[in-house]
Chain A
Amino acid sequence: QQQVKQSPQSLIVQKGGIPIINCAYENTAFDYFPWYQQFPGKGPALLIAIRPDVSEKKEGRFTISFNKSAKQFSLHIMDSQPGDSATYFCAASMDSNYQLIWGAGTKLIIKP
């Protein structure tokens, strides 16, 4: 019930394409869903986050789509660039609990 399942494990997309990374959860008490981006040699950093009262959130070229009934959320990267190549992690938490439950990560490569 505490798991967050992330797919795919790796993804290769041509520059300009729209990579999509998916996550699914079981615990309906989760109310905060962030995505973190990690470049090689760095720690993860918060990219974008959503709460379940909205179905979509955009920040620049990054969009989270949230489907509460399906208990799924996904990250879309519009007009992807080689600089977006990184590992992406989804996570979930409850406001009452500051721990994050992490997905396994997706290694994204954007080919020039």
Chain B
Amino acid sequence: DVKVTQSSRYLVKRTGEKVFLECVQDMDHENMFWYRQDPGLGLRLIYFSYDVKMKEKGDIPEGYSVSREKKERFSLILESASTNQTSMYLCASSLQGQGSLSNEQFFGPGTRLTVL
């Protein structure tokens, strides 16, 4: 079974703090994604990466950065946390290539971040 793990289930930080969210997958997937999930807004893509050291902006990259130094690990960084970044953060991974197998994304359990 694909396993995607996230470093924390719950996190409370103060405004202005630098926040690191870590994600690790164990299935040798090329693609990794960071989403935030807010009620009524679904899943919004923050950043994704299709290879080590490669990254692409998603729909809402402002206020975030990412790092992918190793294939299995994708980190989301909030440079200076703000209250409007309070949300559920979900990491996902998928295979690269064409066809249904590469379309399926496997998710971690999420990190609920509260910024005070």
Contacts and interface: CB of A to CB of B under 8 A. Distances in A.
Interface of A: 6, 9, 32, 34, 41-46, 49, 51, 89, 93, 95-96, 98-100, 102-105
Given A42-B109, A99-B48, A100-B105, A49 B40 contact: no
Given A32-B100, A34-B104, A99 B109 contact: no
Contact of B98 (A43, A44, A46, A96): A96
Contacts of B50: 98
A32 B4 CA distance: 23
Contact of B31 (A45, A51, A98): A98
B42 A104 contact: yes
B107 A44 contact: yes
Contacts, number: 56
B48 A95 contact: no
A52 to B, nearest CB: 13
Contacts of A102: 42-44
Interface residues of B, number: 26
Contacts of B96: 98
A21 to B, nearest CB: 13
Contacts of A6: 42
Interface string B80-114: 00000000001010101011101111111110000
B55 to A, nearest CB: 13
Contact of B103 (A34, A44, A89, A105): A34
B12 interface: no
